Amino acid sequence: MEYRIEHDSMGEIKVPADKLWGAQTQRSIENFKIGVGRETMPNEIIHAFGILKKAAARVNNKLSPEKLTIEKLSAITKACDEIINGNLNDHFPLVVWQTGSGTQSNMNANEVIASYGNKLTNKKLLHPNDDVNMSQSSNDTFPTAMHIAAVIALENTLIPAAQELINTFIKLEKENEGIVKSGRTHLQDATPIKFSQEISGWRSSLERDILLIKQSLEPLRELALGGTAVGTGLNAPEGFAEMVAEEVSNITGKAFLTAQNKFHALTSKDELVFAHGAVKALAADMMKIANDIRWLASGPRDGLGEIYIPENEPGSSIMPGKVNPTQCEAVTMVAVQVMGNDTAIGIAASQGNFQLNVFMPVLIYNFLQSVRLLGEAINSFNKNCAKGITANKEKMHHNLHNSLMLVTALNPYIGYENAAKTAKKAYKDNISLKEACVKLGFLTAEKFDEVFHPENMV
């Protein structure tokens, strides 16, 4: 491998000749061999750095054109566009397990942008600190990148995935409107419910989750940029913070604004904790929905068997013909991961000391993993399972009319205690509710038929 010599404030160091990063990135590579190749900084953060560095350069050019010249702005902008488009991902090798402020990833971005710009102009035009990092600190750029990445991921990945599944459930509600089946509480038989009503519960849960996520987005739109090292804004010109937030909005097409209190923005991560709580709520509902569906599809002969789900692959290496609810299992495993990530995020957010939180890389790593995994799992579940759900009407009808809890319809006519006696006798003697009620002398057969209509109990 060929190398070139780069230097920083600590001296010289060898860097692979074909890479755009510089000395500080290389030192991080050599000092943090933890999770190498597996747990690198998420691409969403790299993308966000491209956005914020481009926005900062535009504002620096407006406020200090003699320092950040048009030529420098052009070079930085072209480099940032390459980063935003994902063309320079190979030049961001750093792992999550680095400095807790994300300083080395900020410098990775600065060095790559400077190197790319210098190659474009064929001269030493850009300095990573003086030009690309102008008016900034790692302490305000990394939390800014976190918020940008979180908003984009939630709006572009997770919310659309959940909405597609909602659309599927709306279609299933209409298709199954007239079907009445047995309800269940405590995993025991309960009074009747329409299958469409059961589906509507799934749909409404997801609609509420989207509402909660959208509400959590608003605090995430506040950016720390402009606070620099400790929140005072040292070395950032007046108006920089507000103008950068406006530029970030222009670049992304999403609303952002500057954080009102930069001391809070640098040290507290409550916005991300709150937003991930909404993500966890969606994961919890997906766990419930997936479990409902695999229970309802259990069987095919010795389970509930009230619905059919798509048969996507063989389910056993030893039992021929077996098919399993694999999409449900994938969703529930992802839900467990999201819940675990929530614990890590909460603990990381609690570790702000004085003017800075130094658990930011692990926090955003878990946050973005949750959003990505959950979005992908919902898309897979929708495509490979939910869209293919069909009702087993015969089994639903059988289970409904075999349910002892239909006795609830008799409460107004024979009273709660007599209804309970009827249900217990029917169960003990393995006879119908009608037979039990007549044998106990509570109603005549004719009167029972007159008042007992399970389909009207929904």
Task: Let me know if 186 is a catalytic residue.
Answer: yes
> Helix H segments across 385-444?
393-401, 411-414, 416-429, 433-439
Whether the ω angle into residue 128 lies within 30 degrees of 0, i.e. cis, is no
**CB crowding 79-113: b at 16 or more within 10 Å, else e:** bbebbbeeebeebbbbbbbbbbbbbbbbbbbbbbb
Q: Are 118 and 156 in contact (CB under 8 A)?
A: no
Active site (annotated) includes residue 276: no
Helix (H) or strand (E) holding 357: strand 356-357
Phi and psi, residue 355, nearest 5°: -100, 10
Asked whether the beta carbons of 306 and 395 are under 8 A apart, the reply is yes
3-state secondary structure 273-298: HHHHHHHHHHHHHHHHHHHHHHHHCC
Which residues make Cβ contacts (< 8 Å) with residue 398, sequence separation at least 6? none
Compute the C-alpha angle 401/407/410, nearest 5°: 125
- Are 329 and 379 in contact by the 8 Å Cβ rule? The answer is no
CB within 8 Å of 392: residues ≥ 6 apart: 305, 306, 307, 308
Contact 39, 208 (CB under 8 A): no
Q: Which residue has the tokens 């169960």?
A: 427
Among candidate residues 7, 316, 350, 401, the one labeled active-site is 316
Residues carrying an active site annotation: 186, 316
